Structure 1
Amino acid sequence: MSRRCELTGKAVLTGNLVSHSNRKTRRRFLPNLVNVTLASEVLQRSVKLRVSANALKTVDHRGGLDAFLRKASIDELSPKAAELKRAVEKASVEKAPVAA
């Protein structure tokens, strides 16, 4: 399992650990990933995802998983989240009333 957020695409970064004597050694900056279950109101089911804590705050700020997925680009989403985005868009089109 890769260390990548399924919603934002945030992944591992690398850099230097600089000591007091200014000696540089390589290190990794890991994203703060958490396993969460998010509820989709449009699909009327819950989904298990591995997301960063920052993405979790963003989902809450945008008003839920459905609103986050509508606004997100498919390029940055994982294959599982991209499939979820397509399902949410399809379900929201089917629920929308048809204007005559």
Structure 2
Amino acid sequence: MSRRCDLTGKAVLTGNLVSHSNRKTKRRFLPNLCNVTLESETLKRSVRFRVSANALKSVDHRGGLDAFLKKARDEDLSPRALELKRQIAKAHSAAAAEAASAA
């Protein structure tokens, strides 16, 4: 399993560990990944993701998983998240068409 956030695309970064004597050795900066279950209001089901703590704050700030995915760029999303985004968009368009036909 790769160390990459499913929602924001954050991945491992590399850099130098600099000692007091200014010696440089390679090190890795790992993202703070958490296994979480997020609820989709549109699809009325829960989905498990491996996301960074930063992404979790962003999902909460934007008003839930559906709102986050609607605004997210496709390049940053994992294949599972991209498929979920398409399902949500399809459900939104079906609900809009149903509301238009009822009016």
TM-score normalized by structure 1? Answer: 0.97
Percent sequence identity over matched residues? Answer: 74
Tell me the amino acid that sits aligned with residue 35 of structure 1.
N
Matching of residue 63 in structure 1 with residue 63 in structure 2: yes
SS of residue matched to 2:75: helix
Determine the C-alpha separation between the residues in 1 that align with 2:40 and 2:58. 15
What corresponds to 2:9 in structure 1?
Answer: 9
What corresponds to 1:25 in structure 2?
Answer: 25
**Root-mean-square deviation over aligned CA pairs:** 1.0
Number of residue pairs matched by the alignment? 100
Tell me the amino acid that sits aligned with residue 18 of structure 1.
V
Deviations, residues 41-70 of structure 1 (Å, cap 9, x unaligned): 000000000000000000000000000000
Determine the C-alpha separation between the residues in 2 that align with 1:15 and 1:88. 38
Determine the C-alpha separation between the residues in 1 that align with 2:18 and 2:4. 25
Structure 2 residue runs of 5 or longer lacking an equivalent are: none
- After TM superposition, give the deviation of residue 98 of structure 1 in Å: 1.6
TM-score normalized by structure 2? Answer: 0.94
What corresponds to 1:41 in structure 2?
Answer: 41
What corresponds to 1:98 in structure 2?
Answer: 100
SS of residue matched to 1:75: coil
What corresponds to 1:87 in structure 2?
Answer: 87
